[in-house]
A and B are shown apart, each in its own frame.
Chain A
Amino acid sequence: DTAVSQTPKYLVTQMGNDKSIKCEQNLGHDTMYWYKQDSKKFLKIMFSYNNKELIINETVPNRFSPKSPDKAHLNLHINSLELGDSAVYFCASSQAQYNEQFFGPGTRLTVL
């Protein structure tokens, strides 16, 4: 049983397109996150939701919009994709805001 799953695993698209990445966790956790990992492996938090409520919103372009339909899902929609958006995006979840985070397998986004 996969604890945190993401789809798709790979995403290749053209500049200017709009795309979505989906995340689901079956751990019963209250908090979910989106991270961006660039080519240098730096891991930066983008958003965090607790019980479907946005609690962390880092300095991320408005083109990125997270949506949490329920506690188990946190999706990421990206409008007008740019070359600099190419990265690996990780979804994660934790039981509370202050505990171990469980990461998904990542989605490698390539913008051409």
Chain B
Amino acid sequence: GENVEQHPSTLSVQEGDSAVIKCTYSDSASNYFPWYKQELGKGPQLIIDIRSNVGEKKDQRIAVTLNKTAKHFSLHITETQPEDSAVYFCAASMRANAGKSTFGDGTTLTVKP
């Protein structure tokens, strides 16, 4: 089955700096890659996603890049703010597998003011 590895497990940055979280996946058939943010005591919430026909997608301070050949994708957050502090999950899914999403193990991001 699909295996998703996420790095780093923890990340601490100063407010205003950039943060990058990387994920690799194993199944080349995966073609949908969402990123979720989970704040303390809440459920995960989608912040950005990308499908395999696109190499990059941006939404204000957040961007995701996808390298299908290398089977990895990354989340970039620029100009970080304290409210960006949360656990971030990447995931990979494919239509063929009933759309099952395999999640990475999560990255705890701390933005220091």
Contacts and interface: CB of A to CB of B under 8 A. Distances in A.
Interface string A34-45: 000000111111
B43 A106 contact: yes
Given A97-B99, A106-B43, 10 more contacts: A43-B103, A50-B98, A97-B95, A98-B93, A98-B99, A99-B32, A100-B49, A101-B34, A101-B36, A101-B46
Given A98-B32, A100-B34, A41 B106 contact: yes
Interface in A37-88: 40-45, 48, 50, 55-56
Interface of B: 32, 34, 36, 38, 41-46, 49, 87, 89, 93-95, 98-103, 105-106, 108
A55 B69 CA distance: 30
Interface residues of A, number: 26
Given A97-B95, A98-B32, A98-B93, A90 B100 contact: no
B101 A45 contact: yes
Contacts, number: 63
A43 B89 CA distance: 9
A102 B42 CA distance: 12
Contacts of A92: 43
Interface of A: 4, 31, 40-45, 48, 50, 55-56, 90, 92, 94, 96-106
12 contacts: A41-B87, A42-B105, A55-B98, A90-B43, A92-B43, A97-B98, A97-B100, A101-B36, A101-B44, A103-B44, A103-B45, A106-B41
A56 B42 contact: no
